[in-house]
Structure 1
Amino acid sequence: MNELFRLTDPLDLYLVRHPKPAVDPALCYGAADLPVAEDVAACAARLAPLLPTDARVVSSPLVRARLLAEAVSPTVHLDARLRELDFGDWELKPFADIPAEGFEVWGSTLIDFRAPGGELYADMAARVWDAFEAQRAGASALVVVAHNGPMRALTGTLLGLPPSRWLNLEFEFGRVTHLAIGPLGPKLRSFNR
């Protein structure tokens, strides 16, 4: 990670959260591959003026992210490392049926969080960082179309926030966040535009 803060070639990073998925908001979801509830073309048209036309576009392969990435760019690089956190036994389970102590761990020690049968949050953050490192190579502008969890981990890491603060970063559906990264480190240029 220290190498990133010494970048001599600037990188404009655009993080785009997928459109709202077609899922009951009372259900917990992460790695489940859900359809999109919003008009993807309209979302892409709204985002287009905010994104550079010459950027490398990379996306989670989950359909809710992939469809938006394909609507934004004719060339999309899919990277499975950008998929959302796997909530294991909690996937598509009502929040009301999930023990409260599970959410207490999630909220207090995020990086050590793992739902039963699911993925450790630290492992998700590591795979997202690996994807970022690989996808940024040779790019001056990078558009990442992904999910709230991976975007929290990546932005939190870039901005030097402790993992316990990553849940304070809330990326809205169909919105873009821009970070400019150069020799002095990352700068947050816009959030949820």
Structure 2
Amino acid sequence: MVLTLLRHTRVDVAPGTCYGVSDVALAASFVREVDALLPGLPEVDLVLTSPLSRCRRLAERIATHVIRPLSEDDRIREMDFGRWEGRLWNEIPRAEIDAWAADFLHARPHGGESVAMLRARALDALRDHRNNDGHTLIVTHAGVIKAALAAEETAAGYAMGIDFGGFVTLIY
């Protein structure tokens, strides 16, 4: 079975904003980004999406373009950053950032989810969907993709970047 994890396109938020589960708008460049993205996507049998609109809108466009069914899975939504949602990263109290860095996987100084909680639900979803027939395209978020690719459960293991509209393919 094959899963391709695709990060949503650019969002319309100020640079440096923490927006995990916040349902933020897509950038004005959305149509151009989708048009550029479509030719490079692999052939798929199913499109699966996070419920957040920045993924859902992209997934709907892709599913319509490739004429494939579309399903939704809440487990592949982005991490809940609690009271940090919508704040600029550089405005979050240093002590809270330090507490998170000290226990990257389990700390929840923001009151939302820990990285371990995100990882558990994301990996659970991916385990379920890797049993789908054929090739599944999963339109999701950077946090979910990083959880899927993290070689180790440390901050360094999550340090890789994934561009807006970037994707990785996992073969099982």
Which bin holds the TM-score, normalised by the shorter protein?
Answer: 0.7 to 0.9
1:32-181 equivalences in 2 (<5 Å): 32-74=22-64, 75-156=69-150, 160-181=151-172
Distance in 1 between residues matched to 2:104 and 2:8, nearest whole Å? 22
- The structural deviation recorded for 1:79 is 0.7
Q: Secondary structure at the match of 1:44?
A: helix
- The structural deviation recorded for 1:100 is 1.7
Contact 2:99 2:109 survives alignment (8 Å): no
Contact 2:48 2:136 survives alignment (8 Å): yes
**Corresponding residue of 1:6:** none
Distance 1:38 1:55, change over 3 A: farther
Distance in 1 between residues matched to 2:42 and 2:110, nearest whole Å? 41
- The structural deviation recorded for 1:175 is 1.5
Percent identical across equivalent pairs?
32
Residue type at the aligned position of 1:57: V
Instruction: Give the unaligned 5+ runs of structure 1.
Output: 1-10, 182-193
Distance in 2 between residues matched to 1:109 and 1:45, nearest whole Å? 41
Residue type at the aligned position of 2:142: N
- The structural deviation recorded for 1:120 is 1.7
Q: How many residues align?
A: 168
Instruction: Give the unaligned 5+ runs of structure 2.
Output: none
- The structural deviation recorded for 1:129 is 1.1
- The structural deviation recorded for 1:94 is 2.4
Distance in 2 between residues matched to 1:170 and 1:107, nearest whole Å? 18
- The structural deviation recorded for 1:151 is 0.9
- The structural deviation recorded for 1:131 is 1.2
Distance in 1 between residues matched to 2:44 and 2:110, nearest whole Å? 42
- The structural deviation recorded for 1:31 is 0.6
- The structural deviation recorded for 1:167 is 2.5
**Corresponding residue of 2:8:** 18
Tell me which moved more, 136-145 or 28-37. Answer: 136-145
Task: Quote the RMSD (CA, aligned, Å).
Answer: 1.9
TM-score (normalised: structure 1): 0.78
Distance in 2 between residues matched to 1:113 and 1:76, nearest whole Å? 34
Distance in 2 between residues matched to 1:93 and 1:170, nearest whole Å? 21
Distance in 2 between residues matched to 1:26 and 1:164, nearest whole Å? 19
